[in-house]
Amino acid sequence: MDYLPFTRPSIDEETILGVADVLRSGWLATGPNVAKFESGLSEYLGGRQVKSFTSATGALEVALQLCDIGEGDEVITPAMSFTATPNVIMRVGAKPVFVDVDFTRNLDLDLVEDAITKNTRAIMPVHFAGLACDCDRLYEIAKRHGLRVIEDAAHAIGTEFNGKKIGSFGDLVSFSFHPNKNMTTIEGGALSFADPAESAKLDRLRFHGISKDAEGNMDVDLPGGKYNLSDVAARVGIGQLEKLDSFNEKRRKLVDHYFECWKVDECELPAWGEGHAWHMFAPLIPFDKFGISRGEFVRKMHEKKIGVGIHYPALHLFSLYRGLGYREENFPNAERIGRETVTLPLFPMMETGDVERVCDAVAEVLS
């Protein structure tokens, strides 16, 4: 029986041959394939301006810099996400202000306004596992308090809210194209943004702070980073983008089958929502009730040749954020999710029989 990982990218032969063509062309850094990829992303997102990046983390950091967020500022963000989300806030000198999540594992908007202070400059929500947060309510809160919104949509390429794709509206929206995401550029990301006036500054922040006049004379007026995507990576992204909707449709069908086949009532299955892109399928397992540790569960699933991930521990319990004064019991929902979450296999090359195999294995291990 073959080993079933919890995720695997789907890259076709046409894309592989296309990458070989790029390698033979001699133009490996940012070039015509990056321009084509960004144009395709823009079209996919309804004509929004889109810039590609070497990572979603870089896109988030540049978005914060674009908003002039730095020392002494605060950014509200959920206590349940990957560490990249609050890390970039700290990297620009600001403070991540954690807020607990609700049953969807997205930011609990009922708690956001209590976290706003005179130092708050932005809200950075996460569309967790591909389920959109309530964008209408989020932006209403931000507008009322004069805050920027920087959406961490690393899980949410292809996700919809009220029939509109995440990234086709709103303020600043960052996507990830890491190999475990719904589409990949191997490593990479993108930033969708609304204000054309911010484009030139964004370009300088993305590439060394450099600007050039009509004659090619160069100037540097800010300490930009280097986040430009390569043409090799962009060529992978071009092939992936063409298949993104079919990838996501397959993910939805597999998740439907997970819900049909699940056998352990004591577990809490992920929240379902309209427009969900299903980046991950991550049930919560009350391990104490079953007399087994999560580590033992992962090991036994591995023995059955099934991969399991953990996405994610609660952020405020990491040493870095404890240094900001956070402690156990600050965010009970995030802490419970962090203790009980496991990520089960979900990727487009799977078949329904694979889902049945995983569900049977989970039931056997927990029994």
Residues 6+ apart with CB under 8 A from 145: 113, 116, 120
Considering the candidates 95, 118, 164, 181, report the single residue annotated as catalytic. Answer: 181
Q: Please give the residue range of the domain that contains residue 86.
A: 13-238
* Exposure on the CB side of residue 57, measured as CA atoms within 13 A: 12
Q: How confident is the model at residue 110 (pLDDT cuts 50, 70, 90)?
A: very high
Q: Are residues 20 and 157 in the same domain?
A: yes
- Rounded CA-CA distance 272/262 in Å is 15
User: Percentage of the chain surpassing pLDDT 70?
Assistant: 100
- Rounded CA-CA distance 287/299 in Å is 14
Mean pLDDT of 231-244: 98
Residue 19 belongs to domain with CATH number: 3.40.640.10
Query: What is the pTM for the complete model shown?
Result: 0.96
Mean pLDDT of 13-36: 96
- Residue 307 falls within a domain, yes or no? yes
Residues 6+ apart with CB under 8 A from 319: none
Residues 6+ apart with CB under 8 A from 265: none
- Rounded CA-CA distance 355/341 in Å is 18
Cα–Cα distances (Å) from 87 to 150, 175, 304, in that order, read: 14, 16, 36
What pLDDT shows up at residue 1? Answer: 77
For the stretch 117-151, pLDDT in tens is: 999 999 999 999 999 999 999 999 999 999 999 99
Q: Are residues 220 and 312 in the same domain?
A: no
Work out the mean pLDDT of the chain and round it to a whole number.
97
Q: Are residues 266 and 321 in the same domain?
A: yes
Q: Are residues 30 and 130 in the same domain?
A: yes
What pLDDT shows up at residue 137? Answer: 98
- pLDDT at residue 37 is higher than 80: yes
Q: How far out from the chain centre does Cα 130 lie?
A: 8
Residue where a domain stops, chosen among 238, 266, 287:
238
Residues 6+ apart with CB under 8 A from 115: 76, 97, 99
- Residue 4 falls within a domain, yes or no? no
For the stretch 249-266, pLDDT in tens is: 999 999 999 999 999 999
- pLDDT at residue 352 is higher than 80: yes
Q: Are residues 178 and 100 in the same domain?
A: yes
Q: What is the number of structural domains in the chain?
A: 2
- Residue 183 falls within a domain, yes or no? yes
Q: Are residues 230 and 305 in the same domain?
A: no
Q: Are residues 222 and 77 in the same domain?
A: yes
For the stretch 292-327, pLDDT in tens is: 999 999 999 999 999 999 999 999 999 999 999 999
| Two tokens, residue 76 | 């509200």
What pLDDT shows up at residue 46? Answer: 97
Q: Are residues 216 and 119 in the same domain?
A: yes
| Two tokens, residue 23 | 């390698």
- Residue 103 falls within a domain, yes or no? yes
For the stretch 143-183, pLDDT in tens is: 999 999 999 999 999 999 999 999 999 999 999 999 999 99
181 has catalytic annotation: yes
- pLDDT at residue 109 is higher than 90: yes
